[in-house]
Amino acid sequence: MRQVPREMDGREVPMVTVHETLAVRVLLGSGARSAVPEEVARLSARRVFLVVTPSASAAGDELAGALGPLLGARFDRPAPHTPVAVTDAAMATAAGADCVVAVGGGSAIGLSKAIAARTGVPQIAVPTTYAGSEATPVLGETSDGVKTTRRDPALAPGVIVYDPDLTVTMPAGLTRTSALNALAHAVEALWAPNATPVTDALATEAVAGILQSLPEVLASPAETAPRARLQSASWLAALCLSQVRMGLHHQLAHVLGGTYGLPHAELHSLLLPHVLAFNLPHSETARTRLAHTIEPIRRLSQAYDGPTTLSALGVPYADLPSVAERVAASPYPNPRELTVPDVTALLEAAW
């Protein structure tokens, strides 16, 4: 199939569309977590290594009880950005495991992927945020402050269990920023150089679903049905993230997050309206599908009761030009050319 070239400021665009999907079994629905022992049995696993995020310890206890003799060991200290030292500590207790089950956000699932990378064991991911790592073949690990990212289909969990009951404990702030983090995956998919008809469709549905369900969830945080809709829409966004190359938004999140150790979801959430306004005039596909979303996204981002500016996150104003220089020196594929003055102006607006 031939693809109409997108406007990429003179950069090469692929003329042949390639769409690759991962083999994955996905369970969705309230109470789906009770099927985890059956899923373990389907994998013929006999010794589960359970990774649990501290906030999900009740769900971890419940699952540990349900696994009974299938539980080999449990690790409760996953950390953001998958530090190798934490993985080493987990590996020391994972000996003999033939399956990893991770309950938690991107940090717990990152650790699960790191263990799978070292042992080759299959994974069952039970996400409790909207970050989307469970659906991607990407692992970012940090060692001595340096983050290295790799992509390999073998890293992606083969089973995902989306149980909205596990998301009702998310505080309002995390709900909002995590959902906007998911939204960013879908938004960037619409201007990606390797977008496909499938990712365009997934991204469009994901954006509509998140923008509709997030306000419902924020209004009734304990209700499961809106949480289920938000979780499903975030899954579609995660599928976009797994398929296409991310642009300026993710590059800024990586550079700023890595340099200043900033919280992942909050950073995504505050950057998104700025990047959207910056890029939209330069991508016809995204403009057609997203023009009406700029205002709702800006409102959702600004209404967060935590930091909504780079200054509030502690980024020094004087550093903004050097951040822009690093972005412009090796830009991620982006529909608008990334010059130092333009990116500095965007960062100043976000500051």
- CB closer to ligand NAD out of 12 and 20: 20
Give the residue with the Cβ less far from ligand NAD, 178 or 293.
Answer: 178
Specify burial of residue 111 (Cβ count, 10 A radius: 0-12, 13-18, 19+).
Answer: buried
Tell me which of 121, 170, 183, 217 binds ligand NAD, using CB under 6 A: 170
Pick one of 112, 167, 213, 301: the residue that binds ligand NAD (CB under 6 A): 167
Q: Pick the closer one to ligand NAD by CB: 53 or 123.
A: 53
* Three-class SS state of 127: strand
What residue is closest to ligand NAD based on CB? 106
**Of 72, 83, 132, 247, which one interacts with ligand NAD (CB under 6 A)?**
132
Tell me the per-residue interface mask from 62 to 91 with ligand NAD, x by CB under 6 A, - otherwise: ------------------xx----------
Residue 253 interacts with ligand NAD (CB under 6 A): yes or no: no
CB of 246 to ligand NAD, least distance (A): 10
One DSSP character per residue, 4-63 reads: PPP--TT----SB--------EEEESTTGGGGHHHHHHHTT--SEEEEE-GGGHHHHHHH
CA atoms within 13 A of residue 188's CA, in its CB half-sphere: 31
- Strand 159-162's sheet: what is its strand order? 25-28, 159-162, 123-127, 99-104, 48-52, 71-75
Of the candidates 43, 51, 50, the residue with the CA atom closest to the CA atom of residue 25:
43
259 binds ligand NAD (CB under 6 A): no
Given a contact cutoff of 8 angstroms between Cβ atoms, the answer to whether 283 and 190 are in contact is yes
Which residue among 131, 210, 271, 300 contacts ligand NAD (CB under 6 A)? Answer: 131
Binding site for ligand NAD (CB under 6 A): 53-56, 80-81, 104-108, 110, 128-129, 131-133, 136, 138-140, 166-167, 169-170, 174, 178, 264-265
